[in-house]
Amino acid sequence: MRHRPVLARLVRAALVPLLAAVGVLAVAGPAQAATLGQVTGFGSNPGNLTMYAYRPDNLPNNAPAVVLLHGCAQNANGYFGNSGWRKYADQWGFALIVPEQKSANNSTSCFNWFEPGDTARGQGEALSIKQMVEHARTTFGTAANRVYVSGLSAGGAMAATMLATYPDTFAAGSIVAGIPYRCATSMLNAFSCMNPGVDRSPAQWGDLVRQAYPGYSGARPKVAIWHGTADYTVGTANATESRDQWTNVLGVSQTPTGTTSLPGGTTLETYGADQVRLYRVAGMGHGTPVDPGSGAEQCGTAAAYFLDTICSAYRDALFFGLGAGGDPGDPGDPGDPGEDPVCVTASNYAHVQAGRAYQSGGYAYALGSGVRMGLYNVFASTTLRQTGPAHWVIGC
């Protein structure tokens, strides 16, 4: 067991009302034999974490895997049961790896995203999570090149840690109500990172990620960022600062190439060639966005810190490329009748790159309707509305 100063434990106790709530009992899932189960003996486990895993029935060899990281005072079972990820793991055939923090490490069961020894490559909690991924690959037969991570709040900050320290392991990730990597390096400055947030330049944020794995020159994971506009626990400035960090790391502009209106009062900003996404959920507080129901785009259970707005697991699974027949470059589909239409404003170049349009003879044309949009370049901008599968028209 790792011993921490008494003062730090007392300060951590103040985080209970700040960084997520007690995990809620999972609702019953589909009638299957597969269950979330504890896994032991997965490695040296220097971070002293507990590993849980979910393998859907008849999971094929070389299937993808998604790591889910809970918030403070939550647990693996509660996050697994309420976040909505199980639905798509069953439907599209991928494994879930769900690390769990222990109160021995942190009195409120937060992942220690502010401790340098837990957020460095090859150390602490970050290494424990990496060992869980390796154990799943060697024992369950999951794919080495299709591993993803998503987390809420402290888990979102730890998801950023995994993307920064192990870019050679994770192909993409999702940071929900989280904080940029290495914003804090102690408990004391963690509070200012949480709220109101810390303002740094994109290059300064990017350097913190690059320093996490010096000399790394391989591909970097793409990143989705989620934040409620009424989040008073983790300040909304963190969404913009996280955007700045990951666009800089991926070498793309901080100016969005497209803006999309989605259900649940959600605005999606895409950056570069859809390498970074920023979802802003209007009026949503601190939590994971869910949308209970049986629709294809609906998932999860509404509860404390699981907020009924939009199914983030569905959007992230498509972004990760996990959806059967889904287009990870397409931010959505028209959904059910009466649902807010999917509208995207972007340069004609970005529309073509995202598959909403095609180009011919130097001009861009809306996919499906064939309406000419104007010159195919980054300067001409058009608003497109989706009216059916692979069918877009001008205007919204």
List 277's β-bridge partners, or say none: 224, 270
Contact 162, 137 (CB under 8 A): no
Residue 353: which of 389, 377, 386, 369 has the closest Cα? 377
The answer to whether 289 touches 315, Cβ cutoff 8 Å, is no
Give the closest residue to 248 by CA, choosing from 298, 219, 210. 210
User: Phi and psi of 281, rounded to 5°?
Assistant: -105, 110
Q: In the annotation, is 294 catalytic?
A: no
Retrieve residue 338's tokens.
């009466």
Of 320, 278, 290, residue with least CA distance to 178: 278
In terms of C-beta density within 10 A (0-12 exposed, 13-18 middle, 19 or more buried), how is residue 150 classed? buried
What distance in Å separates the CA atoms of residue 1 and residue 381, rounded to the nearest whole number? 57
Q: Which of 128, 153, 242, 261 is an active site residue?
A: 153
- Give the separation between CA 179 and CA 236, rounded to whole angstroms: 10
Alpha-carbon distance of 264 to 257, in angstroms, equals: 22
Catalytic residue set: 153
